[in-house]
Structure 1
Amino acid sequence: MKKLFLMLIVMPVLIGLTAAAGFMYWSSQPVFIGDTAIEFTIRPGSGVRSLSHQLQESGLPVQPLMFEILARLSGKASRLKAGSYELESGKTPVELLEKIANGEFSQGTLAIIEGWTFSQMRKAVDAHPALQHDTKGVSDVELLKKIGVPYQAAEGLFFPDTYLFAKGSSDLQLYQQAYAMMSKRLDDAWATRSSGLPYKNAYEVLIMASIVEKETGQKSERSLISAVFSNRLKTGMLLQTDPTVIYGMGDAYQGKIYKRDLLTDTPYNTYTRAGLPPTPIALPGLASLTAAANPARSDALYFVARGDGSSHFSTNLSEHNQAVNKYQRNIRSK
């Protein structure tokens, strides 16, 4: 009777110790061993039990009950975050739990290229498979409202860069990030601008930066091209820059620009209208913003492409015409 009594006491303890040892062993072993990481997504509003089953449904060889127990025993059951993740080979259930509790989301990347139009940026964002497309089909004006931008035209307002984001995050967040970055870069450029510029505000510098971005063949010439346009504005000359005409043509532009295009008036035709166009014509990078705010010290009023990516700058029309005859043989290349 005494031995039976001891067995009734000892056996549950031994079973408990064995179970605890097995649980500890399980939690410290790799979830899987393989050549590639496994992607999985936790749905918003998921409780720990639902989450544990989602892991298994995503292809992770995790025992849902064991993972739920691990989360509850660790005190992290209420801290698990919805989102997209990747688990690498060799990671343990404990490390998996830490990843979800810390919100270590898997990241996507998107490169926004200097000189792109906003339309090109939108196409790239809309096509990215790792983003949640909350702006697809929304007008540019409505998109700006959604992210709290106080402008009616989106062109030029977003900084071209390579952006990292959590996979599955809203594309609105990416637009907000790109807008905030451009706002900061533009504010810095305006705060450090040269004196005597023909611009009333930072937005006009942004417009000029977009023109410089599209006109520049070599990065080293940005400040000289900026100087030409700045000098033209100061003297009341027309800017006469082909990229603005092309932008105003929209879908009608098919790779070539003709004399009739230069004579056809649009709000962006700087051959028919004085001053700056009404909005930027592209997304300018940092170098173009800096050049627009700090043009080179130069009296040049003209420039023409040499055909090798560089430009010839002239201070008078006679010299410019000679350069055109020399480098372009009177054939417009843009």
Structure 2
Amino acid sequence: MSDGFDEFFDENTHWVEQGAPAAGSGNPPQPPKSRRDMRRRRAQHKRRHLIGIIAVVIVVALVVTGCFFAYGKLRAWRDARESSQTQQAADYAGPGDEDVSFTVQTGQSAGQIAQALYEADIIKSVAVFTSAVSANNATLYPGTFALKTHMKAIDVVKILSDQTQASGFLEVRAGERISDVIASAAELSGISKDEFEDVINGGGDGILPAEASGSFEGWFEPGTYNLADLDTASEIIKTLVDKRIAKLDDLGVPTGEERERILNIASIAEAEVNKSEYYGKVTRVIENRLEQDMTLGMDSTVAYGNNVSPSQITQAMLDDADNPYNTRQRKGLPPTPISSPGDNAITAAMNPEDGDWLFFVTTNLDTGETKFTSGSLDQQNTQFEQFVAELHQWEADNQ
């Protein structure tokens, strides 16, 4: 036992028993009463020592973590401040100096446009310009724009995102007729409209596929075209047709006479409704009426045959059986497509929705809401009359 007590006093002479005089009072600590008491005191000492170490580690960790986050915040603030100052320094004050003409090509990204603007000394920084595009959620349109050197980036973004300020690019819209396309092409290119009409009326040799039977209607692909790279009316028209053929191939449209038939049906759907959600139903109406040997009764074809808009149709036009496009008087599809249909209408013509619809009426000309009849022929005739009455009421309420 004496060895144990000697060891105890050698290691623990600084201990003070609870209730005993404080250290330095001159009174030695009380010896343990037993080995158990000795072991207990030794365990208490170790726990206190361990707790002290843990406490120090926690305090140090908290201090280090706090310093880390504080440094991060400070660095982020400093970087943001420096970035802001850099951007301000990397932007011209505007409004610009020398007049320049700048062309945005179809398919160019904001970064590519920014680089071209920078190289032309129109903007001072690619990063500032792309940031302005992103911050304003701007859409940059293809075309040739009138700009100046040394412009403020946001001013350039405003111009390039305004399609009305673009020139030199021909935009062919889905549902647009050939007559409207060549009028725009002639104005933008400076080539005589007569040259375009000579190509259109020339049969399409070397340009049109055989299934078009010499008619260009429906064979212009909607999209935007840079006319600056095309020198003649023939080149422009061939480009539009080649793009159309490539798109039809991509969409998997059958070749030959079936391709022309699909374009024909799609062009009617494109002209009759202005919402793609209805294309599949309209193409089914056309197929149902053809199957039942009914006339199509489409005002859009009558309008096309008279070179007017549907709102300009007269009763005399509706009664004119000599018009080959009068599908109120003549059965079957019109001789050619009546416009350049878009992808959605073409896809719908290949895959009409399932249904027994025979009639449809657009009852709200603002929203484009269109209603379709269903049921027996008598039921569908009754529904059709109801829908026509709804249209007339809408027209009366919105005059």
Compute the TM-score of the two structures, normalised by the length of structure 2: 0.51
CA change 1:235–1:324 in 2 (3 A) is: closer
Q: Which has the higher helix share?
A: 2
Q: How far 1:192 moved relative to its partner?
A: 7.1
Which structure 2 residue ranges, 5 or more long, are not aligned? 1-95, 103-143, 151-166
| In structure 1, C-alpha distance between the alignment counterparts of 2:390 and 2:377, rounded to whole Å | 14
| In structure 2, C-alpha distance between the alignment counterparts of 1:132 and 1:228, rounded to whole Å | 42
2:243 aligns with 181
Q: Does the Cα contact within 8 Å between 2:173 and 2:223 map onto a contact in 1? A: yes
| In structure 1, C-alpha distance between the alignment counterparts of 2:316 and 2:338, rounded to whole Å | 21
Q: How far 1:136 moved relative to its partner?
A: 4.4
2:299 aligns with 242
2:100 aligns with 37
* AA aligned opposite 2:238: Q
1:145 aligns with 205
How many residue pairs were aligned?
235
* AA aligned opposite 2:214: Q
| In structure 1, C-alpha distance between the alignment counterparts of 2:391 and 2:363, rounded to whole Å | 12
| In structure 2, C-alpha distance between the alignment counterparts of 1:154 and 1:319, rounded to whole Å | 40
Q: Does the Cα contact within 8 Å between 2:175 and 2:271 map onto a contact in 1? A: yes
Q: Does the Cα contact within 8 Å between 2:273 and 2:279 map onto a contact in 1? A: yes
The percent of aligned pairs where both chains have the same amino acid is 27
CA RMSD, aligned part only? Answer: 3.5
CA change 1:298–1:201 in 2 (3 A) is: same
CA change 1:286–1:301 in 2 (3 A) is: same
Look at both structures and tell me which one has the larger radius of gyration over its CA atoms: 2
Paired residue for 1:156, among 218, 243, 247? 218
1:275 aligns with 332
Q: Does the Cα contact within 8 Å between 2:363 and 2:391 map onto a contact in 1? A: no
Q: Deviation per CA, 1:286-310, whole angstroms, max 9, x where unpaired?
A: 1111111111122212111122412
Q: How far 1:143 moved relative to its partner?
A: 7.3
2:371 aligns with 312
Q: Does 1:264 align with 2:320?
A: yes
Q: More deviation in 236-245 or 162-171?
A: 162-171
Paired residue for 1:329, among 380, 389, 393? 389
CA change 1:216–1:328 in 2 (3 A) is: same
Q: Deviation per CA, 1:75-99, whole angstroms, max 9, x where unpaired?
A: xxxxxxxxx9x99859xxxxxxxxx
Paired residue for 2:348, among 283, 286, 291? 291
CA change 1:37–1:236 in 2 (3 A) is: same
| In structure 1, C-alpha distance between the alignment counterparts of 2:278 and 2:298, rounded to whole Å | 16
CA change 1:296–1:117 in 2 (3 A) is: same
Q: How far 1:190 moved relative to its partner?
A: 4.9
* AA aligned opposite 1:154: F
CA change 1:225–1:34 in 2 (3 A) is: same
CA change 1:190–1:205 in 2 (3 A) is: farther
| In structure 2, C-alpha distance between the alignment counterparts of 1:141 and 1:114, rounded to whole Å | 22
Q: How far 1:149 moved relative to its partner?
A: 5.3
* AA aligned opposite 1:113: R
Which structure 1 residue ranges, 5 or more long, are not aligned? 1-32, 40-83, 91-106, 194-198
Q: Does the Cα contact within 8 Å between 2:208 and 2:214 map onto a contact in 1? A: no
Q: Does the Cα contact within 8 Å between 2:208 and 2:216 map onto a contact in 1? A: no
* Higher RCO (C-alpha under 8 Å, 6+ residues apart): 1
CA change 1:279–1:38 in 2 (3 A) is: closer
Q: How does 1:1-334 map to 2 (within 5 A)?
A: 34-37=97-100, 89=149, 108-128=168-188, 130=189, 132=191, 135-136=195-196, 138=198, 140-142=200-202, 144-145=204-205, 147=207, 150=210, 151-166=213-228, 169-191=231-253, 201-250=258-307, 255-265=311-321, 266-307=323-364, 308-315=367-374, 316-329=376-389
CA change 1:148–1:313 in 2 (3 A) is: closer
Q: How far 1:116 moved relative to its partner?
A: 1.1
* AA aligned opposite 1:225: V
CA change 1:136–1:300 in 2 (3 A) is: closer
Q: Deviation per CA, 1:19-66, whole angstroms, max 9, x where unpaired?
A: xxxxxxxxxxxxxx9443268xxxxxxxxxxxxxxxxxxxxxxxxxxx
Compute the TM-score of the two structures, normalised by the length of structure 1: 0.60
Q: Does the Cα contact within 8 Å between 2:305 and 2:324 map onto a contact in 1? A: yes
| In structure 1, C-alpha distance between the alignment counterparts of 2:388 and 2:276, rounded to whole Å | 21
